[in-house]
Amino acid sequence: MRLSTRGPTIGLTTLLLALPWLAMPGAHAQDTPAAATSAVAPPVDLPATNSSAGAPASASSTADQVSLDDIRNFSRVYEVVRQAYVEKVDNKTLMKAAITGMLSGLDPHSEYLDKDGLAQLNEDTTGQYSGLGIEVLQVDGGLRIVSPIDDTPASRAGIKPGDGIVKINGTLIDPQNVDDMFKQLRGKPGSKIALTIVHQNSDKLIDLNLLRENIAVSSVKVRELEPGYAYLRISQFQDDTTDDLERKLGDLIKKSGAQKGAVLDLRNNPGGLLTAAVGVSDDFLDTGTIVTTRGRLQDSNMAFNAHPGDQLHGAPMIVLTNNGTASAAEIVSGALKDNHRALTMGQRTFGKGVVQTVLPLDADHAVKITTARYYTPNGTSIQAEGIKPDIALADLTVNKSDSGPVLISSEADLPNHLANEHAKTGNDINDDGSAADGKLATSDYALSQALNVLKGMALRQPGAVRR
């Protein structure tokens, strides 16, 4: 399940794409454990179905019926726990645990939501919450980081995708206390929390002391990498992501002119609302399928198509991905890749290709349950597979050498060289953009490689100036 201390602040709902409301009262479909309803709908009367879509329950085979022995066994276990467990547990707690266990046994994304859980889902879609800023996935009774959210306590502390949370406030996390431990990730702004984490492929424990913050996450950042080449960063997919992207990219184009190309950075993007993913994809497509969903319920079978109006007017694009690119972010990656609108570059994505629907039970309780798989335009399911990038990059960091021989790359590097009498005073012959490229390479290797490829793609565009 996707957890969120944010909501996502350590919060997180890790991956819920919100689909549009299903055609049944009160149902709301989502993609990442993050999408939420903005208003609570009335209870749902679910249609009876079996494994064949649309088949009535009466057609179910008798082998699928719950026997009296099954009911007796459940009752016996319930009574044994109630009477013999080392500590007294009230009936309400036991019943909630039974429901929670039933849903968690289905897959990592289905769960029972109480009032606090519903509030957290609402927080996730708006980007407003108090927490640490990480997306967390429950795996084998533990908590694993899917991705830190930009400019939050988690990202500033150096938490990375794939990190495991070992302890919270000194208490070891295990399958019996994982839900309670997760709840401790949330708290009042300014309150302290101690985490013990371990990086992926490492056995060294790292202790972190963090302060929770009020986090208002702007999911979109837009700037120029250099004249004519835009950098579009989307950290997650929220209610306002599409509008925010259109406004900020429009402002950049108005200020700097039409762009020759753009890098769309979806690294460590844990997902969000399906509607936002569709909107962002549509911003760069004039035609074609964006995504389809298929499930047992008829209303889970949907197709989303692009409309004319490419914001970049066909300028080449690179989509940067990594292992933290999940859910809604994978929908955008797949849509642009399969429609041959962009090259994907980086690492294979997370592989969360299923959709959750929030079904309200009453005003304060709901079930978030997986109801569909989604498919890229080519009809590919990325569930547990991810999207393989067109251009693979290792997760490298380029560091400047602190010592070593001075490299001579031109005549100007030689001692006592004769100056060019026509050179402008104070002009740096290396100040042709290569210095900036070198700085970018050491600060973000993948982005620098994407920019280089993008420049090559731009030269092949009709009307490009070739020298």
Furthest CA-CA distance within the chain: 99
Please, are residues 109 and 354 in contact by the beta-carbon 8 Å criterion?
A: yes
Lookup: tokens for 102: 């039933």
Q: Which residues contact 64 (CB under 8 A, 6 or more apart)?
A: 50
Bridge partners (DSSP) of residue 234 are 220
The sign of the CA dihedral 322, 216, 113, 48 is negative
Bridge partners (DSSP) of residue 157 are none
Q: How far is the C-alpha of 228 from the C-alpha of 265, rounded, in Å? A: 17
Query: Coil, helix or strand for 227?
Result: coil
Residue 338: active-site member = yes
Q: How far is the C-alpha of 388 from the C-alpha of 392, rounded, in Å? A: 8
Q: How far is the C-alpha of 371 from the C-alpha of 99, rounded, in Å? A: 18
Strand order in the sheet with 220-226: 220-226, 229-234, 261-265, 317-321, 343-346, 391-392
Q: Which of 239, 299, 338, 444 is catalytic?
A: 338
Q: How far is the C-alpha of 139 from the C-alpha of 143, rounded, in Å? A: 6
Q: Which residues contact 100 (CB under 8 A, 6 or more apart)?
A: 111, 112, 179
Whole-angstrom CA distances from 456 to 34, 71, 327, 337 are 38, 66, 30, 18
The candidate with the shortest Cα–Cα distance to 121, out of 252, 274, 7, is 7
Query: Coil, helix or strand for 2?
Result: strand
Q: How far is the C-alpha of 79 from the C-alpha of 75, rounded, in Å? A: 6
Residue 204: active-site member = no
Q: Which of 260, 337, 352, 368 is catalytic?
A: 352
Whole-angstrom CA distances from 373 to 21, 295, 382 are 16, 6, 9
Bridge partners (DSSP) of residue 346 are 321, 392
Q: Which of 281, 327, 333, 448 is catalytic?
A: 327
Q: Residue 357, Cβ neighbours under 10 Å: how many? A: 29
Q: Residue 393, Cβ neighbours under 10 Å: how many? A: 16
User: Which residue do the tokens 């429950």 mark?
Assistant: 138
Catalytically annotated residues: 327, 338, 352
